[in-house]
Structure formats: C-alpha cells, structure tokens
Structure 1
Amino acid sequence: MRRLAALYVTLVAALTALPPAVPASAAPGPTVTVTVEQAVTSLPVAPEDRTGYDKTLFSHWTDEDQDGCDTRADVLIQEATTPPDVDARCTAIVGGVWHSYFDKRDYTTARSIDVTQLVPLAESWDSGASRWSAEERQAYANEMEDPRTLVAVAATEVRARGDKDPAQWEPWDDSADCRYLAEWAVVKSRWGMSVDQAELDALITMAAECPTEQITYSRVR
C-alpha cells in the first residue's frame, strides 16, 4: 500500500511538472530568430499556379472575438496612430490618423486606408494556399496573432500593388523596402509558403540592402 501511495505521489508530481497544454490555435513550433537573408534563402522554391483561385475561397472579414468589429475594423483601430471614434456597432470609424508606411504619408480618414494581407490572397494561393483547408485560408485572411500578416496602408498603394510580389512591385517609399522585405519573409515563412524563382531573386537583391535586418516569428503551419 505504501508503495502504491508513493507511486501516486510521484505520478501527481510528474503531471504537475508538465507544461500547460498548447491551445489548438497556437502556432506550432518554436520561435525562430534569423536574418532576413537566411529566411529568404530558406523558403521553398516552386512555380506559381493560380488555377482555381477565387477570392471568396478566403472567408473574410470575420469577427472572431464577437465584439461587433470585424477583422478589418479591428486592424484599423489597432494601427491608428491617433485613435479614432468608433460607434457602438463598429460601422463608423472616424477622427483617427493612420500612417501608411508604403508611401510614408499620414491619412485622416479611414476610407483612404485599406486593410490588406501583406502577401496578397492570390499570391498566397499561388504559393501553397491552394492546398490549405477552408479553415486555414480563413485563419490566414483574418490573422491577428501576428500584426505583420495584415497591414493598414494607403488605398492607392494597395491598388497599385494588386496581387504583385516583390519581383513586380515595391513600396513607393524606398526607405520602406527593408520593412516590407522583412514582413514578406515573416509571412511566407510563418505560413509555410513557397516563392517562385523571380520572386526569390528579387528578395535576395533586396536583402543585400538590409544586411543587419533580423526577424522573429513562430510558424503557423
């Protein structure tokens, strides 16, 4: 009996010492810190294929926390440099100021700002999202865990970028290139996306201008 009691005490102690369970929504894998160049050259290279792409396959904008504000409104509120006034139903966002790092300008109306996936939805489809589940695509399109996935920037810049990758488009403001490169590398690495050869070449060229830039991220998939 004493041996059983001792075994029970040992078992309880071992269970108590175990780390807490990881929520299903938490990003798997450890936190990684690397240079941007290391992140870029570690990305898998594969041809892009847009067959079957439809924006509606990425369900957004959702209201994950059910606070009445959808993801787009949440990002606008969070990224405002001067907090806006928000009505009770989150249908009107007025009076704030937003800094768009794509063009290094401040905007005083929410309608001048677009909330967009840093790696556009079509580009993510080309880079592996075509093989994701509907739940994974929704999670990507609305991700709030890492603020680099979604950005609030000038609507004119978002329209100019469209679905282009860094081989075809860079921010208007040259001083934003290192930040844009770093965030692109984070999102692609975090979500396990690939790059095509032209994109990789452009990213490596950009990384040479940002030799000390480091990124820290945890993989989602």
Structure 2
Amino acid sequence: MIKNMARGLAALSLALAPLAVPHTALAAPQAPGAAVVLPLAEAIKQIPVAAESRDGYERTKFKHWNAGLDPADGCNTRNEVLLAEAIESPTVGAGCKLTGGRWLSYYDGQEVTDPAKLDIDHVIPLAEAWDSGASAWTAARREAYANDQGAASSLVAVTARSNRSKADQDPAQWMPPAPEAICRYIEEWTAGKSRWGLSADQSEIDALSVYADGPCDDSVVHYTPAP
C-alpha cells in the first residue's frame, strides 16, 4: 500500500511539474497568430541586435495605401485607420470622403477636426523597417507591413506636424513631445519590432532600455506575430 501511495505521489508530482514554468520560458518565441504579453524589459531583450543598412531603400517598395480590409467599402487603409481612431466619427461620403469628425493625436496631445491635417504614421517608419530586415522581404510582405491593420499599434493617426518631425528616426533620435505619450510609444515601438521580427541597432536598444528601466518600468508589451 505504501508503495502504491508513493507511486501515486510521484505521478501527481509529474503531472504538476509543467505548472512550475521558469519565468524566462514564457519569453520563448511564439507561433504565428499566438498573442504574446511580456514586460517591456523582457520584450526588448528578445529583439535581435544588428547593424542597420539603408542600401537600396525606396519608399515605393512599400505599396500603400491599398484597398484596406474591405475593398468593397471604397475606403483605403488611410481612411480605415481614420475611421477606427476617431473619437467623434466623421461623415463618410461618396468614395469614402471623410468630413467632420474629431481625433486626438497622441504624439503631441492635439485635437484635430480636419482629417486632411492628419498623417497616418507607421510607428516603425518604412525606412527603419527596411534597415531592420524588411529589405529581405517580398514585395507582398512589405505591402502587408505598410498597410498593417492587424495590430492597433502599427498605424496611428497623428498631426502632420508631429509625424514630419519624427520622419524616419528611431527612439534614440526622437520621442513624442507629449510626456504622457512616451511610455505608450516605447511599448508600441517594441511591439512593432516584435510583431514583424525586425532587428534593432545597439543605440536603439539602449534608448528603449533607458525607459524600460526607468519611467516605463511597469509597461507591458502586447503583440501578435504577423502572419
């Protein structure tokens, strides 16, 4: 009987063993489509570090804006993002012409009521994506990246002024002017790099880590690997 009890306890121990997963194991690469949630500092550590090269870059190699999620509705990706991010919905006219509406540009905290004064920003700029791995992608994958609505953090509606101030700079060179935007931006930048399997150079990693170890130390990164 004692032997049977010992065997039972051993079996129970083995059954429970998978529950005691080391914290580091949770950061293992995930299968495409599997949602990932990580502390910011851990997510940064998973980004591959590599030198960047802009050789051969042309903006036209990232086709945008395309017909969007629903080609039948007449709205391209730009307008679909505007509709998704409006805090007061605009009127949608023929050809998906947008009038009225209201948006909050989170980079600089500005409210905007004219959609023509907004840019749709690639949180990871196209040139930065090219430098970080997209140069090796197919044209179809670059188009998917440039029109990515599969993650809310990929494309954001912001004032043209803030977007053009940012240009193609990474967090080592530019941060949003609104202090309350900084941690969100760091989270979204990290999520974008992770979602698309892009690398970062050392100065970029260092800049992200400063925030992860300081004012954004309680931030969490959510992303789903791109198909």
Give TM class, smaller chain: 0.7 to 0.9
Residue identity opposite 1:172 in structure 2: P
**Alignment match, 2:65:** 61
Q: 2-side partners of 1:166 and 1:142: how far apart? A: 22
The alignment status of 1:73 with 2:79, answered yes or no, reads: yes
The structure 2 residue matched to 1:86, chosen from 92, 95, 110, is 92
Do the aligned residues in 1 keep the contact of 2:211 with 2:217 (CA within 8 Å)? no
The structural deviation recorded for 1:88 is 2.2
| 1:218 equivalent in structure 2 | 224
Residue 166 of structure 1 aligns with which residue? 171
d(CA) in 1 for partners of 2:124, 2:84: 19
CA positional deviation for 1:187: 0.4
Identity of aligned residues (%): 46
Asked if structure 1 preserves the Cα contact closer than 8 Å seen for 2:125 and 2:167, the reply is yes
What CA deviation, in whole Å up to 9, does each residue of 1:155-189 have, x standing for no partner? 10000000000000000011111000000010000
Shift of 1:108: 0.8
Residue 153 of structure 1 pairs with residue 158 of structure 2: yes
Choose which of 52, 56, 81 in structure 2 pairs with 1:52. 56
AA aligned opposite 1:75: V
Size of the aligned set, in residue pairs, is 194
4+ residue runs over 6 A deviation = none
Separation of aligned partners in 2, 1:83 and 1:106: 13
The amino acid across from 2:135 in the alignment is: S
Cα distance in structure 2, aligned partners of 1:220 and 1:74: 19
Point out where structure 1 has 5 or more consecutive residues left out of the alignment: 1-26
Counterpart among 111, 114, 127 of residue 116 in structure 2:
111
SS at the partner of 1:89? helix
Match of 1:152, SS state, is strand
- Following superposition, the deviation at residue 111 of structure 1 comes to 1.5
Residues 167-182 of structure 1 aligned to structure 2 (within 5 Å): 167-182=172-187
Name the one with the larger helix percent.
2
TM-score calculated relative to the size of structure 1: 0.85
Q: What is the CA–CA distance in structure 2 between the aligned matches of 1:29 and 1:80, rounded to whole Å?
A: 27
1:212 Cα offset (Å): 1.2
Q: Structure 2 unaligned runs (5+)? A: 1-30
Deviation at 1:218? 1.5
Residues 1:121 and 2:126 aligned together: yes
